[in-house]
Amino acid sequence: MKTINVALIGYKFMGRAHSNAYRQAAAFFDLPAKPVLKVLVGRDQAAAQQVADQFGWEEVATDWRQVVERCDVDLIDIASPGKTHRDIALAAAQCGKHILCEKPLANTLEEAKAMWYAAEEANVVNMVNFNYRRTPAVALAKQMIEAGEIGEIRQWRSAYLQDWIIDPAFPLVWRLQSAISGSGALGDIGAHSLDLARYLVGEIEAVTSLTKTFITERPLATATTGLSATGGSTRGPVTVDDAAIWLAKFAGGAIGTFEATRMAPGRRNYNHFEISGSKGSLGFNFERMNELEFYRHDDPAGRQGWRTIQATEPSHPYVSAWWPAGHGLGYEHTFTHAVADLCKAIAEGGKASPDFADGAKTQAVLEAILRSAKSGAWEKTSMA
C-alpha cells in the first residue's frame, strides 16, 4: 500500500483531533494510500513529545521551517492559530507538499488568496478543514438538496452558539486577540456556518452585520488546554468580537440570517441551521449530530410534521465504514472523514474539497461582514 508521510504543526486541541484522524482513517476506510504519522511539530519539545507518544508519531520537531523542507514529508497539516497559516502554507507549497489547513484559512483575504494561488501554482492538493461538512447528517442534507427534495431554497437561518468565555475572569487566550486569530466568534465559529451555507445553498454576494464585544478586558492567559485556560493578575484588551450577527443575500436569490456567539449560556457547541425550500425544510444541530430534521410540504394534509432522520444508516454518507445503524458517531469522526477524503485525493491525483479557493471565498464574506460592522451598510463580498 502507498503511504503519505504527514507532518502536523500544532499538538493541542486540533493537533489531537488530527492525530486521532490519521490513526483511524486507514483502519476504517478503504484508502489507496495510508497516512503515516511522521513528525509532530511544536515549539515546546517536551509537550509535543508527550502528545507524540500518546498518538504514535515517529518524531517531534520544534521548527516547522525545517520540517516543510524534508524530502520524507508529503503532507503538511497546519493546526496552529490563524496568524501562522499563510507563512507555513506558502513554504509548504514552495516545497511541493500537499496541504491541509485548519479553518478559517487565514486571518485576512489577502493572506487567504496568497495561499490559494501558491497551492494552485505548485499543483499540490489543498484542503481547508471545515469539518462539519463531513458530519453524515450534513452530507445527507447536501444529497437531499441536490435531489430536489426541498425544492428551491428560499431561506437559510443559522445560529452557532457557544458559552465558554461568558465568565469575565476567563483569560485572554489567543482566540480573543485579533493579531493572532483575525476575528472572534465570527472567524472561529461563524466561518463554519458560512462554509455550510456556501456548501448547501451557494455563494453569498452581500451582507449587513453587527458585532459586539461585551467583555473588553481580561486576565492574560498563563496556560491553555483546548478551550480551557488559566489566567494571571495582569489584564489586557480583548480585540475581537464576542458575538456577530448578519443578514446575507445569496447569489441564487435566497436570503439568510446568521448568528455566531461565544456568549450564549447553556449552549456548548450548538452549530444549528435550518433551510426553508419551496417543497420542504431541513434542520440540523451539531449537539444532536446524528440527526437530520426534515419536513415535506407534500405529505398528506393532517399528517404533516417534522420528522427526525437518524443519519446512521449504512446508506448515509460515511456511515458504512463504521458501526451498525443506530450506534452513532461523534465529533472526532468528522476529522477522520476529512483525512480519508484527503488521502484519496492525494493518492488519486484528484482535488480535495473544500479547497483553498473555498477557504478564500469564505474569507471574502468574513471581511465583508467586518466592513459592514464598521460602515453600518450593506457590503458586497469581493475577492479583490
Ligand X SMILES: NC(=O)c1ccc[n+]([C@@H]2O[C@H](COP(=O)([O-])OP(=O)(O)OC[C@H]3O[C@@H](n4cnc5c(N)ncnc54)[C@H](O)[C@@H]3O)[C@@H](O)[C@H]2O)c1
For ligand X, the binding residues (CB under 6 A) are 9-15, 42-43, 64, 79-82, 84, 102-103, 129, 131, 188, 224, 226
User: Residue 240 Cβ, how far from ligand X at the closest point, in Å?
Assistant: 12
How many other CB atoms are there within 10 angstroms of residue 344's CB atom?
18
Nearer to ligand X, 16 or 154 (CB): 16
User: Residue 81 Cβ, how far from ligand X at the closest point, in Å?
Assistant: 5
User: Residue 21 Cβ, how far from ligand X at the closest point, in Å?
Assistant: 11
Which cell is 361 given? 471565498
User: Residue 238 Cβ, how far from ligand X at the closest point, in Å?
Assistant: 17
Nearer to ligand X, 192 or 361 (CB): 192
User: Residue 271 Cβ, how far from ligand X at the closest point, in Å?
Assistant: 9
Nearer to ligand X, 40 or 140 (CB): 40
User: Residue 327 Cβ, how far from ligand X at the closest point, in Å?
Assistant: 23
Q: How far is CA 153 from CA 26, 136, 157, 197, 315, in A?
A: 37, 21, 12, 11, 25
Nearer to ligand X, 36 or 52 (CB): 52
Nearer to ligand X, 56 or 253 (CB): 56
Nearer to ligand X, 183 or 211 (CB): 183
Nearer to ligand X, 183 or 281 (CB): 183
User: Residue 285 Cβ, how far from ligand X at the closest point, in Å?
Assistant: 15
User: Residue 15 Cβ, how far from ligand X at the closest point, in Å?
Assistant: 5
Residue 264 in contact with residue 163, Cβ under 8 Å?
Answer: yes
Residue nearest to ligand X according to CB distances in the complex: 12
